[in-house]
Amino acid sequence: MRLSTYFMPTLKETPAEAQIVSHRLMLRAGMIRQSSAGIYSWLPLGLKVLKNIEQVVREEQNAINCHEVLMPTIQSADLWRQSGRYDDYGPEMLRVSDRHGRDMLYGPTNEEQITEIFANSIRSYRDVPQLLYHIQWKFRDEVRPRFGIMRGREFLMKDAYSFDLDKEGAQNSYNKMFVSYLKTYERLGLKAIPMAADTGPIGGDMSHEFLILAETGESEIACHNECLNNNWLKDVDADSNLGKIVHTFTEKYAATDEMRDEKTERALGSNLITARGIEVGHIFYFGTKYSSKLGAVVTGPNGEEITVEMGSYGIGVSRLVGAIIEACHDDRGIIWPETVTPYKVGLINLRHDDDNCTNACDNMYSLLKDAGIEALYDDRDKKAGVKFADMDLIGLPWQIIIGPKSVKDGIVEFKNRKTGELVELSAAAALNLLKG
């Protein structure tokens, strides 16, 4: 992408309304713009990151045989009256009516809707278990929307739902999803800590939040230090290990509400870590809470009726954009993990008015394109200082810098955004490093 034709309205000044670093950087890098309180437009650079995160989440859901669907944002109030949540949900729910005066709502979550779909489609125990998910915008009229897209009113969520014949099956689905979450966050370059949690308006009797460490996080973390150190993903592909891994987390390492008191300190002693974190996922097991009210019943092997056992599993996809920035930045800007970066490499032409320099840059850009490497080419008529600052701000993991001197020497400068390390290489060598 040539920056001269792109839409990337970066800001030099720090916007006064932004209290935390990710919000400041997202505004400055031209990733988002506020539309109204807690509601944002995604500009090209921000949207690209959002889509990349979505794709990692999607691949990991598909990998555990969870099937993608897409449910609407607008739901019928009657469905929520059946579950009893229409009145319970309170002012957080955005209620609307259509031209016939029918009560509708903008979905804050989809338990009712997916349960209705299951109930209308699956009749036999043979077609269970099922895991279904979608990635869709939600609306919650939060009392205090803040920190940009981190606590928005409109936000993108991956929500999955499991249907099983009995509690044991439901626990297995829960475990599968639990471990899949650990993998998802790792691929996103994050270390997420699972913690036993309250179930809130979703309901149920087992729940974990997934938190990443950040000083600006809204949640408190109290856990065993091995939560941070251990490599939890070893051996997780074997199904038989799922239960063990979840059990270890739940019983030994992960904090519970009561572990936040002095009992925790006694139990964990010097192994106790307390910190702040951002909730990037939340999973629930709630048994037959929705299936019993919405008729999600299948016929068992002996003709008996089985009310299915359910769980739901959320990931804050748009919140993750901010969470990743909170975890990956320095005082010059964002440092994207390779898996979500909007472009792999930034190409900087230091002398737009020098034909040799521009030719060398155009050649490099063609080489990158031909190799299938996504590059953002700063071909603008701007000072070198502005280009350096913008490139560091938007945080692409690699930079290739070409000026008159490098053209003369037949090299390019190749910079690692994270470490700041700068090496001189031939164009071909730089290309090979990026391919590897």
Residues that bind ligand 5CA (CB under 6 A): 109, 111, 140, 142, 151-152, 155, 157, 159, 202, 279-282, 284, 312-314, 316, 318-319
Is residue 105 within 8 Å of residue 95, measured between CB atoms? yes
Task: Write the CA distances from 434 to 87, 299, 346, 424, integer angstroms.
Answer: 55, 55, 11, 14
Largest CA distance in the chain: 83
Q: Which is nearer to ligand 5CA, 29 or 202 (CB)?
A: 202
Give the type of residue at 312.
Answer: S
Q: Which is nearer to ligand 5CA, 90 or 385 (CB)?
A: 90
Q: Which is nearer to ligand 5CA, 282 or 380 (CB)?
A: 282
H runs (alpha helix) in 190-297: 226-229, 239-247, 262-268, 291-294
**CA–CA gap between residue 77 and residue 65 (Å, rounded):** 31
Q: To the nearest whole angstrom, how small is the minimum distance from the Cβ of residue 320 to ligand 5CA? A: 8
3-class secondary structure, 367:
helix
H runs (alpha helix) in 239-290: 239-247, 262-268
Residue facing ligand 5CA at closest CB distance: 316
Q: To the nearest whole angstrom, how small is the minimum distance from the Cβ of residue 197 to ligand 5CA? A: 9
Give the type of residue at 157.
Answer: M
Q: Which is nearer to ligand 5CA, 312 or 341 (CB)?
A: 312
Q: To the nearest whole angstrom, how small is the minimum distance from the Cβ of residue 106 to ligand 5CA? A: 13
Q: Which is nearer to ligand 5CA, 95 or 418 (CB)?
A: 95
Q: Which is nearer to ligand 5CA, 208 or 380 (CB)?
A: 208
Is residue 277 within 8 Å of residue 193, measured between CB atoms? yes
Q: To the nearest whole angstrom, how small is the minimum distance from the Cβ of residue 326 to ligand 5CA? A: 13
**CA–CA gap between residue 10 and residue 332 (Å, rounded):** 13
**CA–CA gap between residue 270 and residue 377 (Å, rounded):** 50
Q: To the nearest whole angstrom, how small is the minimum distance from the Cβ of residue 153 to ligand 5CA? A: 7
Q: To the nearest whole angstrom, how small is the minimum distance from the Cβ of residue 37 to ligand 5CA? A: 12
**CA–CA gap between residue 315 and residue 362 (Å, rounded):** 41
Q: To the nearest whole angstrom, how small is the minimum distance from the Cβ of residue 139 to ligand 5CA? A: 9
Q: To the nearest whole angstrom, how small is the minimum distance from the Cβ of residue 317 to ligand 5CA? A: 8
Omega before residue 201 within 30° of 0, cis: no
What DSSP state is assigned to residue 6? S
**CA–CA gap between residue 337 and residue 357 (Å, rounded):** 30
Q: Which is nearer to ligand 5CA, 142 or 226 (CB)?
A: 142
Q: Which is nearer to ligand 5CA, 135 or 401 (CB)?
A: 135
